[in-house]
Amino acid sequence: MTERALPPPRSPWRDLWQDFTRHRGALLGAIVFTLITLAVFLGPFIWPIDAGFIDPRIRNQGPSWAHPFGTDQLGRDTLARVLSGGRISITVGLTAMALSLGLGTLIGVLAGVIRWLDGPLMRLTDLFLSLPLLPLLLVMVMLFREALSATFGPEAGIFLLIVAAIGLTSWMATARVVRAEVLALKERDFILAARSIGTPNAALVTRHILPNVLSPILVSATLGIANAIITESALSFLGLGFPPDFPTWGRLLNDATIYISDYPERVIWPGVAISLTVLSVNYMGDGLRDALDPRGRR
């Protein structure tokens, strides 16, 4: 009797990666987002001009080799400002996404695993879903800005405030999806098996449930980044975000709109940066969702 060679076990991550790369838009989105992130974080090494350096001799210049995106009304280099603005915007996006994911996953898992918490936690989620978010965010920023700036310094204070505000108001979708997945998982045999050998609840969650709800969490992660970046930019655009010394993309857009009739091209750079980032993240989310949809698996 000869031993038949079994095909090597297929890792779910390999499958996911293959499906993901088959989705051209998603792959392109991932590449663009990685490039933007790299450019923004490695920006100061490639483009050594300081974002805050004021040179009154070169005010309001158009694009040139020395300043590819031109300069603003104080003679600051627009490329450097867009890069440093992106550093703040993307950091806010990633941090706020992490906070909202953590909160959403925690609430979703708690609601799914512990039966008596399910009702109250889901009512809480419904209540949060019916809050008018943008107005509340504006109010939160208005009320807490000065107190936090005084305690943590102007940049760190606003950063904490905006990340916390966005995170606290955007966890609901994640919580709902995670709860639904956990409830479905609980009926599966492997959970029963794990329970029957006496796995404690905490280990059951970390070892068996969390790895299996990772895929919907990934999808909401991409949506979360897009949402956080847009919200931060909207707040900065309305003048209730970062102070003018810390140019985020929304703030740059806001500053440029004043000069729109004289220097319309200045609006383009931060606007395109926001839109391109959000677009690439959305495409990534689309591809992930398609790749994770069991109906599409071949």
Partner 1 sequence: MLTYALRRLILAIPTLLFIALVIFALLEFAPGDPTAQIPLTVPPEVKAQMREALGLGEPSHIRFGLWLWQFFIIEPLVWIDHALGSTWAEGEARVISWQTRAPVMDTVVERLPQTLWVVGMAYVVGVLIALPIGIYSAYRQYSVFDQMGTFITMVGYSVPPFFSGVVVIMIFAVQLELLPSIYDTTHVVTDWNSLKVQFQQMIMPVMVLALQTTAMISRFMRSAMLEALSQDYVRTARAKGLSEWSVVMVHGLRNSMIPVVTVIALGLPQVFGGAIITEQIFGVNGLGQLLISSIAANDLPMVQTVTFMLAVLIVLFNIIADLLYGALDPRIRYD
3-state secondary structure of 242: coil
CB of 250 to partner 1, least distance (A): 7
CA separation, residue 61 to residues 58, 66, 85, 175, 261 (Å): 6, 10, 20, 49, 15
Among 101, 161, 182, 278, binds partner 1 (CB under 8 A): 278
Q: What angle do CA 212, 218, 220 make, to 5 degrees?
A: 120
The Cα 245–Cα 242 span in angstroms is 8
- Of the candidates 290, 297, 165, 294, the one whose C-alpha atom is nearest the C-alpha of residue 232 is 165
CB of 142 to partner 1, least distance (A): 5
Name the CA dihedral angle for 202, 207, 209, 215, rounded to a multiple of 10 degrees: 140
3-state secondary structure of 260: coil
What part of residues 218-247 is at the interface with partner 1 (CB under 8 A)?
226, 230, 233-234, 237-238, 240
What is the token pair recorded at 12?
């779910």
C-beta of 109 vs 285, nearer to partner 1 = 285
CB of 82 to partner 1, least distance (A): 14
C-beta of 237 vs 242, nearer to partner 1 = 237
Among 152, 195, 267, 290, binds partner 1 (CB under 8 A): 267
Q: Which residues are registered as beta bridge partners of 160?
A: none
C-beta of 163 vs 240, nearer to partner 1 = 240
The Cα 117–Cα 121 span in angstroms is 6
What part of residues 112-171 is at the interface with partner 1 (CB under 8 A)?
126-127, 130-136, 138-140, 142-144, 146-147
Contact yes or no for 250/235 (Cβ under 8 A): yes
C-beta of 140 vs 175, nearer to partner 1 = 140
CB of 25 to partner 1, least distance (A): 8
C-beta of 142 vs 192, nearer to partner 1 = 142
Buried b (16+ CB within 10 A) or exposed e, 12-43: eeeebeebbeebeebeebbebbeebbebbeeb
CB of 271 to partner 1, least distance (A): 4
C-beta of 75 vs 271, nearer to partner 1 = 271
C-beta of 180 vs 234, nearer to partner 1 = 234
Catalog residues that contact partner 1 under the rule CB under 8 A. Answer: 25, 126-127, 130-136, 138-140, 142-144, 146-147, 226, 230, 233-234, 237-238, 240, 250, 253, 256-257, 260-261, 264, 267, 271, 274-275, 278-279, 282-283, 286
